[in-house]
Amino acid sequence: MTAGTVGSRSRFAGVAFAVAAVLAAANLPTPLYRHYQHADHFSTGVLTIVFAVYVVTVAATLGVAGQASDLFGRRAVLVPGLAAGVASVACFAVSGAVPVLVVARALSGLASGAVTGAGPAALADLEPGGDVDRASTVASAATVVGLAVGPIVSGLFVEYLPLPDRLVYLASLPVLLVALAGVWALPGGAGGGSVPGRGPSVLERLGRLRRPGVAPALRGVFARATLIFSAGWVGAAMFFALGPTFADLILRTHRPVAGAAIVFEVFVFSAAAQLLSRRLEPHRASRVGLVAFGAGMGALPVALWTRDAALLLAASAVVGAGQGLAHRASQAMLLDASPAGERGRSSAAFYLVGYSAIAVVLVSLGFLIDATGPLVGLAGFSGLTLAAAVGALVALEGASGRQRSGRAGADR
């Protein structure tokens, strides 16, 4: 084994570790939201605004991170992203006041958007054997590990160790600093934009950045894919923001680890569904995902009303699996329809619109709960997301019917 191969493998592992570390750190606050809410006496609406800041910042960063890493190199995006992650946990460790939480969530959104936008591309560049499919699988695994492990580790810290709103962030700082050192060691040219010598100037590269958007011919596919994506992710994000509330209401416990375990379950089933459905055609995966997601959201109000813990866990698993299928399939649907030169721009628009819609709906949920109470608000929200899933399924079936009619007409 050559030194170059060993170096390539270590850099590859370093990027995968950075992706997982940033996403885990970004989700450390999940078990602490109720603590912050009680300590500073702010409403559920304010709580969902704090969470929505993260979602919107991730979307905005994703709109430029991938393109910027192509133009300036992967390291030029990943290093600032890791630095933002370090700054974020430092803010969380200092204070739980609402203004600090907003700044910390914005910084963690920048970090998550940077590693999500540039990390998979860097892994594809650095995969020692040039196996892009393996790089994609590792990127997905690192993402899921971060999303699932962050809340459960935080819940355990909060449950069993002192200083619940400080220690978990202080413990994450060295992890993020190690990840930052790993991406700092990447070659400057990783990604094609930072190759030394003659080449486009910084201003010329900046001029090449394109706003997120879709070609007119893709607007129908884009609308359907975004609706499917948003419907599934609204449900998953609801568990992220309000998992501790479910634990309080249904599991009848204030233990932070219980709320974290619900979030962990959602994303374990989401990851499993994505991995197991890789060979499933996008339209079929979307149908299955929407039906599963709708069934889970339909069962959730019953679990809330009856306070049935087993039904909550079953609904969480089905929502997670449905969301995972819908996410993978909606993204594949759009990318399959997009010309190669438009895929990055279409993906940026897809995430920007989808995540922005999720943020608006979540904030509305928070204020609905403030106005009506947790049980009525969450039940009403579940009904609305179920309606969105049904609407997405109707739109998908309508498009499939038109495609079948078009093919039949062409055959005649």
Tell whether 1 is covered by a domain: no
141 and 175 inside one domain:
yes
359: left (phi over 0), alpha (psi -120 to 50) or beta: alpha
Rounded to 10 degrees, the C-alpha dihedral 97/100/102/105 comes to -120
Q: Which range is least confidently modeled, 8-22, 176-190, 194-208, 374-388? A: 194-208
Answer yes or no: do 172 and 240 share one domain: no
Residue 15 pLDDT greater than 80, yes or no: yes
CB contact burial 138-158 (16+ within 10 A = b; e otherwise): bbbebbbbbbbbbbbbbbbbb
More confident residue, 66 or 266: 266
Please indicate, yes or no, whether residues 132 and 259 belong to a single structural domain of this protein: no
Residue that has been written with the tokens 């339209």 in this structure: 283
Decide if 194 contacts 76 (C-beta within 8 A). yes
- Give the domain CATH number at 150: 1.20.1250.20
Which pLDDT score, from 0 to 100, does residue 210 have?
Answer: 67
Residue 341 has what pLDDT? 58
Residues 403 and 347 in one domain: yes
Same domain, 149 and 243: no
Q: Which domain holds residue 294?
A: 215-412
Two tokens at 14?
């370093």
**What predicted TM-score, i.e. pTM, was given to this entire model?**
0.74
Query: Are 259 and 129 contained in the same domain?
Result: no
Structure tokens at 221: 């596919």
16 found inside a domain? yes
Domain boundary among 150, 175, 209: 209
Task: Count up the domains in the chain and report the number.
Answer: 2
Residue 199 within a domain: no
Most confident range (mean pLDDT) of 57-71, 100-114, 320-334, 386-400 is: 100-114
For residue 394, being part of any structural domain is answered with: yes
pLDDT of 3 reads 43
Q: What is the pLDDT of residue 258?
A: 75
Using 50, 70 and 90 to split pLDDT, how confident is the model at 196?
Answer: very low
Kindly report, residue by residue over 298-317, the tens digit of the pLDDT: 888 888 788 888 888 898 89
The token pair that represents 194 in the structure block = 């930072």
**Maximum Cα–Cα distance for the chain, whole Å?**
74
Is 167 in the same domain as 234? no
Nearest to 359 by CA among 238, 213, 260, 228: 238
* Digit-coded pLDDT (tens) for 320-378: 899 888 887 887 787 777 775 566 677 777 878 888 887 888 788 778 888 887 778 77
CA distance linking residue 226 with residue 233, whole number of Å: 10
CB 276 within 8 A of CB 285: no
Rounded distance between C-alpha atoms, residue 409 and residue 19, angstroms? 48
Q: Are 313 and 282 in contact (CB under 8 A)?
A: no
Task: Taking each helix axis as running N to C, give the angle between helix 44-72 and helix 98-126, from 0 to 180 degrees, rounded to the nearest 10.
Answer: 30
The residue that leads in pLDDT, 69 or 27, is 27
Instruction: List, as one string, the DSSP characters of 88-115.
Output: HHHHHHH--SHHHHHHHHHHHHHHHHHH
226 and 310 in a common domain = yes
Q: From CA 148, how far away is CA 272, in angstroms rounded?
A: 12
Residues 368 and 275 in one domain: yes
Whether residue 263 sits in one domain with residue 402: yes
Q: Where is pLDDT greater, at 275 or 290?
A: 290
| pLDDT, averaged across the chain | 80
pLDDT beyond 90 at 218: no
Task: Quote the CA–CA distance of 223 and 232 in Å, as a whole number.
Answer: 14
Per-residue confidence at 407, pLDDT binned at 50, 70, 90?
low
Please say if the pLDDT value at position 31 is more than 90: no
How far, CA to CA in Å, does 138 sit from each of 14, 57, 69, 145, 355?
12, 24, 19, 10, 24
Quick one: pLDDT band at residue 209, thresholds 50, 70, 90?
Answer: low
Which among 150, 181, 209 is the end of a domain? 209
Is position 200 within any domain? no
Looking at the predicted structure, is the pLDDT value of residue 174 above 90? yes
The CA-atom distances, in angstroms, between 100 and each of 43, 88, 90, 103, 400 are 16, 10, 10, 5, 48
Supply the pLDDT for residue 202.
58
3-class secondary structure, 223: helix
DSSP 8-24: HHHHHHHHHHHHHHHHH
Residue 198 placed within a domain: no
Query: Is 398 found in the same domain as 269?
Result: yes
Neighbours of 405 (CB within 10 A): 10
Counts of helices then strands in the chain (DSSP H, E): 14, 0
In degrees to the nearest 10, what's the CA dihedral of 177, 180, 185, 186?
Answer: 160
Domain boundary among 145, 177, 209: 209
- What percent of the chain lies above the pLDDT cut of 90? 17
Confidence category of residue 238, pLDDT binned at 50, 70, 90: confident
Higher pLDDT, 73 or 322: 322
The pLDDT tens digits for 142-163 are 877 888 788 888 888 888 888 8
Which of the pair, 288 or 402, is modelled with greater confidence? 288
Q: Does pLDDT of 191 surpass 60?
A: no
Residue 205: both structure tokens together: 């590269």
- Residue-wise burial string across 348-362, b where 16 or more C-beta atoms lie within 10 A, e elsewhere: bbbbbbbbbbbbebb
Residue 385 pLDDT > 90: no
Residues 229 and 155 in one domain: no
Q: Is the pLDDT of residue 41 over 90?
A: no
